[in-house]
Amino acid sequence: MPEAGKHSVTYVVVGDEAQGQRLDNFLILLCKGVPKSHLYRVLRSGEVRVNKKRCDATWRLAAGDSIRLPPMRLAERPRAEAEEAAKERVRLPILYEDEALLALDKPAGIAVHGGSGVSFGVIESLRQQRPEARFLELAHRLDRETSGLLLVAKKRSALNALHDMFREAGQVADKRYLMLVKGRWMNPRQQVKLPLYKYLLASGERRVRVDPAGKPAHTVFRLLARWQRFSLLEGQLKTGRTHQLRVHLAHLGYPILGDEKYGDFALNKALQKEGLKRMALHARSMDLPHPLAATRRLCLVAPLPEALCAFIRHLDAVETRDFAVDDLDALLATAARTPYAE
């Protein structure tokens, strides 16, 4: 890895853990502190060589490849920024771990990776805590405001297998979320098939809307509990589109409580006074084959966070609950339990 302040050509040999990785992604991980714009510039100019040949950013690496890196100065981080980053590093509850992957219980309010104004995310924290680990990569992503189950691959082969599974969301991996929504949801079980289209605001911020020009998106919602103003739902993803649950529900008139992108902003502000200071969306469970042993099955569960359980107890105290599934109390009771895999 290049060192800060050095001005000489560097050669790096690709290890087994980077087999099949794109050249640009490899460099981004290797050259932490170098702006991405600079990395892509030296790639386009041919200053980066793989086995003495020019390669573009999408080139797939093989174990044993020799990469020539031109002189690059890594940005020295101001002490105040480094200290702030240190504050963002948190000990993340581990739900499950084996030789191929680990499952984390991500708290709400923490980004899964650095960028977009966030200097340190889940994956950076994990790498900091495990400097001996040769490979740690996110298998999928959760929005910063969403809590719950997050998988991290410990081997390239496991990462590729998980990506294949998630590409066929609903066919191989059963991913389920819990959410509190505005309004009285009436159907015990409802299929929602609405295409989703990604676009950018004038500010450059990413958004998604229901649009016939978008990609197919399929969610199955199940009613778990209902009060006078709100409902608790389970959402099962049959496809894995960006912001799928949030946009489907907002389009139907049942925005997720606390959602600052697609929600009811006036209601969100009022609910903060009632104790709900986060988005009420939680990645609850995942049932999937083991990525390196298809005969094994992983059934992972992240307990509902205490903050959401407390708000549900608040609703029971101030409103009449007129519907609840039989296992609701058991579901809420898991918040106080140690994280686990079933």
What span, in angstroms and rounded, lies between the C-alpha atoms of 205 and 200?
5
Q: Which of 24, 65, 105, 143 is catalytic?
A: 143
Residue 257 near residue 265, CB atoms below 8 Å: no
Handedness of CA 328, 332, 337, 339 (dihedral sign): positive
**Nearest of 81, 66, 158, 167 to residue 119 by alpha carbon:** 81
Helix (H), strand (E) counts: the chain: 9, 18
**Nearest of 294, 3, 292 to residue 160 by alpha carbon:** 292
Handedness of CA 251, 257, 263, 264 (dihedral sign): positive
What span, in angstroms and rounded, lies between the C-alpha atoms of 131 and 12?
19
Residue 226 near residue 232, CB atoms below 8 Å: yes
What span, in angstroms and rounded, lies between the C-alpha atoms of 336 and 309?
10
**Is 143 an active-site residue?**
yes
Between helices 36-44 and 23-30, what is the axis angle to 10°?
A: 130
Instruction: Catalogue the active-site residues.
Output: 143
